Structure 1
Amino acid sequence: MKIVVIGAGYSGTAAANRLAKKLPKAEVTVINPRPDFVERVRLHQRVAGTAAAATPLTTMLRTGITSLVGAVDKVGAGSVTLDDGRSLDYDYAVLAVGSTVQPLPGTVPVGTWEGAERAREALATLGAGSTVAVVGGGPTGIETAAEIAAARPDLRVRLVGSSVAGSFSPGPQARVRAGLERLTVEIVDDEVTKVTDGVVHLRSGETFAADLTLWAIVSGVPDLAARSGLAVDESGRAIVDESLRSVTDERILVVGDCAAATGGRMACQVAGPQGAHAADTVALLAGGRAPAPYSARYLGRGVSLGRKDAVGQFTRRDDTLLRAYVAGGPAVVIKEMGTRGAKFSARAGIGS
């Protein structure tokens, strides 16, 4: 049996390792644009220079798994075609290409490896007193602004977003904002409409100058599923059945950010379990058994505020918020354990 996994993030790596363990006689091939496993949830640390975020993929994959560096042009009809003309046949394929960013001109995106590298290099050239604008009030923006402010207190950091920490309930949201303010991050409750010649334009009509503007909004997915003729939703995510199989081609399983799975959202705590479930589905099908439905399971939401502060709010399994939350040192420990656990689970193929 031949199985191709497209993408080696949390979901793809977890799927590949679990497949190799459950189907030891199968030929498992992983195709990824780079030779590294990137911890996307550490990209803000990479930008600020406080941690590495890439690990050689060869150390993340089980022995016997083949890894190819390349970009996939199309998948379907039992074959994967790369943009350099190479092709691979498969019995099953796992599509795990994640999400992407759509930055405004004049900004540097921090939600991809390539963008984070550009941001890191640009940040390193800034002198004391320079202004860094971070666009996006979600977790990516909050963590990027906080990490830079903590690592470079000589810089002026401004976080621009229409609803900073809006995914939390009022109590922890206020605590996130207070933590940012303690790091001297200036919160601008507005939206950026354009950036021209180093000037940030806001929807309110106000403007301010920035020496570096970082785009910290993750939105959209690669168009591989749509380009391959798979059914997608309005966001371009592949529509899947309850077992994470494409409704267009049951030999293709779709996991992570690029899957329109019921109850899913963009998070490593979702990607890993979906990758593991896809592997289990393939193993069941290979054994002539019916696959089980996937069920999302959440534990909480959290953001780091530099290396010494964090806020985490607990959730029900369906991702609805509970009132309980933690902050400060305990939240730092929980957040770091979750980050390390996601990487460990991907390497172990356990998914959660």
Structure 2
Amino acid sequence: MVERTTPWQEALMDIVVIGAGYAGTLAANRLRKRAPDAHITVVNPRDDFIERVRLHEQIAGSGTAARPLTEMLADGIACETASVDKIGDGTVTLDSGRNLDFDYAVLATGSIADPIPGAIPVGTWEGAEQARAALAALPAGGIVTVIGGGLTGIETAAEVAEARPDLRVRLVSDTVAASLSVGARRHVRRTLDRLTVEIVAGRVIEIDGTTLRLRSGDELDSDLTLWAIFAAVPDLAARSGLAVDADGRALVDATLRSTTDPRVFAVGDCAAVPGMRMACATAAPQGAHAADTLVRMSKGQEPRPFSLGYAGQGMSLGRHDGLQQITDRADVPYRLFLRGPIAAFVKERVCRLAANASRAGYTVWLRGPRR
């Protein structure tokens, strides 16, 4: 048994990582490499690693988004297939009633969708599987409506339209591709038009059977309605007594440690970090930073503040088209963007790199812009 002689080294003995998405998986694997004496347990509600950036492929049947966690986690990492009811005073309580003691915990539960009744969320594994089955059962001529004009909604509408040209596909949103440059938005609309995706400006406020009611008072028919808006996070942090913002994200200091309990790190979508957007491009660096901070503390070194700069936003537009928007480090789009097959190729490479980075516990990122 390795003798630990400092308080910080002893504190690395038991680490619980809650959530096995991009941030949690990368943090666990990075800790396994850099703190080999630590006992690391990953808690996840399913025994698969879900590539959220591929869920639109899962829905359309053009790809798969699940990998066994046994293939993603390094040897020596314990894995509990369970949900967490509460994070207490150095204890994580599972839904089975079992407790896991920790010296440090990494909260990486990601984000969830909060659809209006009658819509299926596309950003969760369960929702994607439900949508896949419903889409496969739709006869020719059926109407699919995607609610949400962000990158997820656009990818979903394009993927479904390409995979099922026998269906009518529409996208409903107040705005479409608002985070992109003018030229990039123009390309998105042209591509959706080529795929015969109808764009309807508005907001759906109610679903009654196969009828969608818009805020304007207009009504639309829809045989399958998909919700592609992310606006919520799991309430684990709030119900555990951790300080959260108005959206339920855990409040953290500059090093990603909870402002309520410094033994808890929050990373990815569930962390309230100013200037960050929900993306694997955010989650992976934050997971890596949390792991590195724990290692630094184990050596008696001061933790460093987290800093992240973006380089771009990418999306697929079916299997053979895509768009890569170049941005500054603050995520503000430049006029420059890539489109077509080369952008689709880049997007595919980025998706593979994101999963491989989580498995390897290694990633690199730009420092954030000067404020």
TM-score, normalization by structure 1: 0.99
What is the aligned partner in structure 2 of residue 240 from structure 1? 252
| 1:214 partner SS | strand
Q: Does 1:142 align with 2:142?
A: no
> Equivalent residues in 2 for 1:1-352 (5 A)?
1-352=13-364
Q: Distance in 2 between matches of 1:191 and 1:304?
A: 24
Question: Are the equivalent residues in 1 in contact too, given 2:182–2:335 (CA < 8 A)?
Answer: no
Displacement of 1:297? 1.9
Displacement of 1:140? 1.1
Q: Distance in 1 between matches of 2:88 and 2:254?
A: 20
Q: Which amino acid aligns with 2:158?
A: A
Q: Which amino acid aligns with 2:69?
A: L
Displacement of 1:298? 0.8
1:152-202, Cα deviation, whole Å (9 max, x unpaired): 000000110110111112110111111111100001111111110110111
Displacement of 1:85? 0.3
Displacement of 1:206? 1.2
Q: Distance in 2 between matches of 1:204 and 1:210?
A: 17
1:301-333, Cα deviation, whole Å (9 max, x unpaired): 122110011111111122121111010011111
Displacement of 1:76? 3.0
Question: Are the equivalent residues in 2 in contact too, given 1:72–1:80 (CA < 8 A)?
Answer: yes
Q: Which amino acid aligns with 2:161?
A: A
Q: Distance in 1 between matches of 2:317 and 2:213?
A: 26
Q: Which amino acid aligns with 1:76?
A: G
Question: Are the equivalent residues in 2 in contact too, given 1:273–1:350 (CA < 8 A)?
Answer: no
Question: Are the equivalent residues in 1 in contact too, given 2:113–2:123 (CA < 8 A)?
Answer: yes
1:188-244, Cα deviation, whole Å (9 max, x unpaired): 111111110110111222111111111111111000000110010011000101110
What is the aligned partner in structure 1 of residue 6 from structure 2? none
Displacement of 1:12? 0.2
Question: Are the equivalent residues in 1 in contact too, given 2:179–2:333 (CA < 8 A)?
Answer: no
| 1:219 partner SS | strand
Displacement of 1:263? 2.2
1:82-131, Cα deviation, whole Å (9 max, x unpaired): 11100011111000000001001111111100011000000010011100
Between the two proteins, what is the percent identity of the paired residues? 59
Displacement of 1:150? 0.3
| 2:111 partner SS | coil
TM-score, normalization by structure 2: 0.94
Q: Distance in 2 between matches of 1:320 and 1:129?
A: 40
Q: Distance in 1 between matches of 2:272 and 2:326?
A: 24
Question: Are the equivalent residues in 2 in contact too, given 1:277–1:294 (CA < 8 A)?
Answer: yes
Displacement of 1:345? 0.6
Please give the root-mean-square deviation of Cα atoms over the aligned residues, in Å: 0.8
Question: Are the equivalent residues in 2 in contact too, given 1:134–1:160 (CA < 8 A)?
Answer: yes
Aligned residues: 352
Question: Are the equivalent residues in 1 in contact too, given 2:84–2:94 (CA < 8 A)?
Answer: yes
Displacement of 1:138? 0.6
Question: Are the equivalent residues in 1 in contact too, given 2:233–2:270 (CA < 8 A)?
Answer: yes
Displacement of 1:47? 0.3
Structure 1 residue ranges without an equivalent (≥5): none
